[in-house]
Amino acid sequence: MKINFWGVRGSYPCWGKHCTQIGGQTSCVSATLSNAQHNRIIFDMGTGIIDLGKELLDQGIKHITVIVSHFHLDHLMGLAFFKPIWDEGTTITFYSPHLSKGLDLETILKTKLFCPPLFPIPFNEVPATCYFKTFQTGDSLNLSKDITLKTLNLNHPGCATGYRLEHGNKAFCYITDHEHSAEFNEDQMLRFVQKADLMVFDTMFTPEDSKTYVTWGHSSWQSAVDVAQKAAVKRLALFHINPDYDDDKLLKIEKEAQALFPCSFLAREGSSIDI
């Protein structure tokens, strides 16, 4: 399984010389499975998905699976500029949790995001063939006979879903937009990510800043390390990086995390890792 980081920031995209090393696009990660080269599994549709879309078109990838953690704008804002949706030969299957008040991804795209005045073209006029699959968080889904997607409820305003993708003997966990705390189902979290080959984890804050932003629904890098150690995760990618933190501060954070857990690293836009 190959994991590519297309967007690693939280909240909003950033640019300029303070973020050249880590990158400024918002959440988007892809998984390429060894025996399914024709297919791509994408986690979230932040602005990072825009460059991924260009590559998928260049490579002639026509079957795409998109898995959405939740519906905050930083995780959806790239979709309108994701070129495969404007290609009528492409088929996209969206998986998303059923959240509160009857809102699901299909409803949000059709009645909110792809609607004037926010966007000029209604979703029904998107040329790609789109399928929408919803689930209750906690469900385990079979994406195909040898690809399993497990889901976990996260601690985030309005809810978010964490994922564990299993294929062959490999497991990849995508845990973002989550405020880790011992009170919020820690045992369940540790079981869920247990021995993952790679865990992406929300690290929006330093431990000091996290005290200021309690209930904002994000974690510190120290919480991420704590979960990784307790759950015997093999590698940890620090993710959903604070757009207000510059490269120098982030490289210091990476060193501090590695001092406690050597197999941790900052997710960097444009990088990839084989697991």
Candidates 33-41, 67-75, 107-115, 183-191: pick the segment binding Zn ion (CB under 5 A): 67-75
13 binds Zn ion (CB under 5 A): no
* Least distance in angstroms from the C-beta of 44 to Zn ion: 8
Judged by CB under 5 A, the residue of 51, 104, 166, 177 near Zn ion is 177
Contact indicator for 213, 181 with CB cutoff of 8 Å: no
Judged by CB under 5 A, the residue of 6, 7, 9, 10 near Zn ion is 10
Q: Which two tokens stand for residue 36?
A: 């399914």
Judged by CB under 5 A, the residue of 44, 74, 104, 166 near Zn ion is 74
Q: Coil, strand or helix: which one is 204? A: coil
Sequence-ordered list of residues with C-beta below 8 angstroms from that of 121, at least 6 positions apart, any chain = 114
Nearest to 256 by CA among 190, 189, 203: 203
Per-residue contact track with Zn ion, 234 to 273, x per CB under 5 A?
Answer: ----------------------------------------
- Residues 271 and 169: their CA atoms lie apart, in Å, by 23
178 binds Zn ion (CB under 5 A): no
Which residue, 84 or 217, has its beta carbon nearer to Zn ion? Answer: 217
* Least distance in angstroms from the C-beta of 172 to Zn ion: 19
Which residue, 36 or 45, has its beta carbon nearer to Zn ion? Answer: 45
Candidates 16-24, 78-86, 170-178, 222-230: pick the segment binding Zn ion (CB under 5 A): 170-178
- Residues 128 and 209: their CA atoms lie apart, in Å, by 43
* Least distance in angstroms from the C-beta of 88 to Zn ion: 31
Which residue, 10 or 13, has its beta carbon nearer to Zn ion? Answer: 10
Judged by CB under 5 A, the residue of 72, 164, 167, 178 near Zn ion is 72
- Residues 28 and 198: their CA atoms lie apart, in Å, by 16
Q: What is the dihedral of CA 156, 200, 98, 46, to 10 degrees?
A: 90
Per-residue contact track with Zn ion, 93 to 122, x per CB under 5 A?
Answer: ------------------------------
Q: Would you give the end-to-end CA distance of the chain in angstroms?
A: 5
- Residues 166 and 144: their CA atoms lie apart, in Å, by 11
DSSP codes of every residue in 3-54: EEEEE-BSSS---SGGGTTT--PBSEEEEE-TT-TTEEEEE--STTHHHHHH
Which residue, 72 or 83, has its beta carbon nearer to Zn ion? Answer: 72
Provide the binding-site residues for Zn ion, judged by CB under 5 A: 10, 72, 74, 177
